[in-house]
Amino acid sequence: MNLDSLLPNLGEWLRGTGPESDVVVSTRIRLARNLSDIPFTTRANNHQKAEIEQRVREAVAKSDIAPRLEYLSVMGLMPLDRLFLVERQLISRELANALEGPRGVAFDTRESVSVMVNEEDHLRIQVMRSGMSLEETWEQINAVDDNLEARLPYAFHERFGFLTACPTNVGTGMRASVMLHLPALGITKQIEKVFKALQKINLVVRGLYGEGTRASGDLYQISNQVTLGKSEPRLLAEIREVIAMIPEYLKKPGVLGIGEIGLNKNTANEATVFQEHVDLAMKTNELILIHTPHLEDKFKGTRMIVDMLKNDKRVKPERVCIDHVEEHTVRLALENGFWCGMTLYPITKCTPARAADIVEMYGPDRIMVNSAGDWGRSDPLAVPEFIQEMKRRKHPEALIEKVVYHNPLEFWRQSNNWKEGV
């Protein structure tokens, strides 16, 4: 990327076009993430930092992040270019000058999304928006984070959450902040009172360029102080309050079962909630549709799910569909008597061609396919593409219809609310 092309435009944080931008200059959310198989940057050598940089560059290049990000190596930039990126809030002062070894940043031409590499953490993902825009900023950075997590093994602990170089970031790894222009409070000498009041509710005030910087031009960043979040008992209590509301929805005619329930990070809390969902399904005699984790956690999570279901003698395997199976998990589900769902995507997860391979390997019994529009690049027409793939392989129409039509009918007809011809 040629930095000169950015000169005619204001950076995202300076546009002044967002909601309440007369006071709230910008909204920023930052996520700290690290790779699970490489030491933190404070312990990593230059060879390991180069590996981190290469893996992140490849993940960004292959990702579906919108807008598109381009990568710059900070090591190869002139001092003036580094200062330009700092002033645009795309990199920190530390990444620009204080740190050593391979490092860089990926960002979009609007300067709203950036990913710093080999700062205090392996990745510092950031989204900025003009004005007061916390919800929209969170939705965008969450999508960016999910996209990268699908391609990089994050360091995550089932008790502590995301692991970070600094203990104050452990947990969510998130800092949400708004930059405020508060000249009147400065002139009237009331700004210190505001700072003290904010500290009492676990908010901190920082300068123009974040932690360790002083205010300039009456601009202040106000952000959260706590990243570990609520206590586990409190979290579970809130989830149980939601579970208690589900039976009322089960009475609605369009509800065919309970799902998707299951695991994502394979934590003890998730297992507890999953078992409570299963208990509810047993008490209400509902079908169960199960979500299995993504990527490297999938087999472990599927194994945990199967074990919990098998240990509950009330569960009838023929009334449970384990969704999102792939080559390494389908046998585990089928051999234990469960139905299997293959969620089809054009590139990631299970493609139509891979689904056809699985049917050829394990047969059509208790297997069905579905499409999605929710995760990375998706294709709502993936099931018709699976049909065409099966036809190209000369499979008979009866076998194809069994997988895409008769099998789903056989499973869902078991639902209490199923009605034919309605």
Residues 258 and 153 in one domain: no
Give kind and range of the element (H or E) at residue 355. helix 352-362
Let me know whether 117 and 187 are in one domain. Answer: yes
pLDDT at 327 over 50: yes
Least confident of 214-223, 271-280, 306-315: 214-223
The four Cα atoms 230, 232, 233, 236 give a dihedral, to 10 degrees, of: 100
* Reported pTM: 0.53
> In this structure, are 262 and 403 located in the same domain?
yes
Q: Tell me: do 56 and 167 sit in the same domain.
A: yes
Least confident range of 39-53, 108-122, 205-219, 328-342 = 205-219
Among left, alpha and beta (phi > 0; psi -120 to 50; other), residue 324 is left
Do 267 and 381 share a domain, yes or no?
yes
Q: Tally Cβ neighbours within 10 Å of residue 61.
A: 14
Checking if the pLDDT of 55 tops 90, the result is yes
Which range among 145-149, 247-251, 285-289 shows the weakest confidence by mean pLDDT? 247-251
Q: Does the pLDDT value for residue 117 go beyond 60?
A: yes
Domain encompassing residue 387: 232-412
Q: How many CB atoms lie within 10 A of CB 201?
A: 8
pLDDT tens-digit map of 59-85: 999 998 877 899 999 988 888 989 989
Asked whether residue 102 falls in the same domain as residue 33, the answer is yes
Are residues 319 and 255 part of one domain? yes
Percent of the chain at pLDDT > 90 equals: 49
8 Å CB contact between 292 and 263: yes
Show the DSSP H helices in 225-351 as ranges.
232-243, 246-250, 268-284, 298-311, 330-335
Q: Which of 118, 116, 122 is nearest to 102 (CA)?
A: 118
CATH number, position 261: 3.20.20.140
The number of distinct structural domains making up the chain is: 2
Q: Please report the pLDDT score of residue 281 as a whole number.
A: 92
Q: Is residue 194 part of a domain?
A: yes
Q: Is residue 286 part of a domain?
A: yes
Residue 421 lies in a domain: no
Residue 44 within a domain:
yes
82 & 123 share domain: yes
Q: Same structural domain for residues 141 and 194? A: yes
> Is residue 66 located within the same domain as residue 206?
yes
- Edge-first strand listing for the sheet containing 174-181: 70-73, 104-107, 113-117, 123-130, 24-33, 174-181, 219-224, 203-206
**Does 275 have pLDDT greater than 90?**
yes
Which CATH number fits the domain that encloses residue 202?
Answer: 3.30.590.10
**pLDDT given for residue 408 in this prediction:** 96
Assess whether 283 and 191 both reside in one domain: no
